[in-house]
Structure 1
Amino acid sequence: MNNQEFDLATVKHFFEHDYHDRGMMKWQGFYLSDHTAALNQQNQQLNAVYVPRPQQSLAEITQLLADAYQRQQPVTIQLKTVDQNNRHLPDVTTLIHGYNANEIVIDADQFIPLPEIRNVST
């Protein structure tokens, strides 16, 4: 078909009477691979079961945290907090940025009360 045979009235008729746009339905199969990977990872985290580690004494927890703070080593912290299904939350791996008598400061200036900590490992 060349430009002389192109008829605007035919195109207009086609879109008004023959073509039916499915809207967003046509995009439902076009997830990006990184989006699909993020959804799969989120689903795994929601369904993951975190095994409770042994409850450490407050003295042991503070000693491990003080050593990690002094050496600027990352620690893995398991909290006592559980979700609505009575499952433990994911561990927090972070550097200790500061502390006071009752809590520690981790990334993004988040405070964690010492009594809420179940286990610390380095």
Structure 2
Amino acid sequence: MNNQDFDLGTVKHFFEHDYHDRGMMKWQGFYLSDHTAALNQRNQQLNEIYVPRPQQSLAVITEVLADAYQRQQPVTIQLKTVDQNNRHWPDITTLIHGYNANDIVVDADRFIPLPEVRNVST
């Protein structure tokens, strides 16, 4: 087609009176695959039930943590903390970067108080 086949008056009338742009409505159902994958993973985490492991003594917890710190092995930590539905939070699997008398350092800026630890395993 060439420009001579179009009547600009007809085109102008179409866009002013007949064509209705839905704006953002046409994008509402459009999700990126990364976004849907993140949503699915988050829903799975929310629906997963973490079974409470046995409460370990402070001596056992500190022994396992000290051994893992010395060997630079990752540990799996279950906290005593529960959510509003009385379900345990997901376990934390991490390297131990340091510790003191009251806390474990699991990241450069994240401390876990020893009294909050329910169970530790390597």
1:48-79 Cα offsets, whole Å, 9 max, x none, are 11110111110000000000000111101000
The Cα shift of 1:7 comes to 3.0
Indicate the residue corresponding to 2:92 in structure 1: 92
Indicate the residue corresponding to 2:7 in structure 1: 7
Indicate the residue corresponding to 1:80 in structure 2: 80
Indicate the residue corresponding to 2:60 in structure 1: 60
RMSD over aligned CA atoms reads 1.1
Gaps of 5+ in 2: none
What is the distance in 1 between the residues matched to 2:117 and 2:68? Answer: 15
Indicate the residue corresponding to 2:16 in structure 1: 16
Gaps of 5+ in 1: none
Identity over the aligned pairs, expressed in percent?
A: 89
Indicate the residue corresponding to 1:34 in structure 2: 34
Give the total of aligned pairs: 122
SS in 1 for 2:20: coil
What is the distance in 2 between the residues matched to 1:17 and 1:88? Answer: 59
Code of the residue aligned with 1:68 in structure 2: it is: A
Name whichever of 25-34 and 71-80 sits farther off.
Answer: 25-34
1:56-105 Cα offsets, whole Å, 9 max, x none, are 11000000000000011110100000011111000001111110001110
SS in 2 for 1:109: coil
Is structure 2 residue 113 aligned with structure 1 residue 116? no
Check whether the contact 2:97–2:108 (CA below 8 A) recurs between aligned residues.
no
SS in 2 for 1:67: helix
What is the distance in 1 between the residues matched to 2:70 and 2:48? Answer: 33
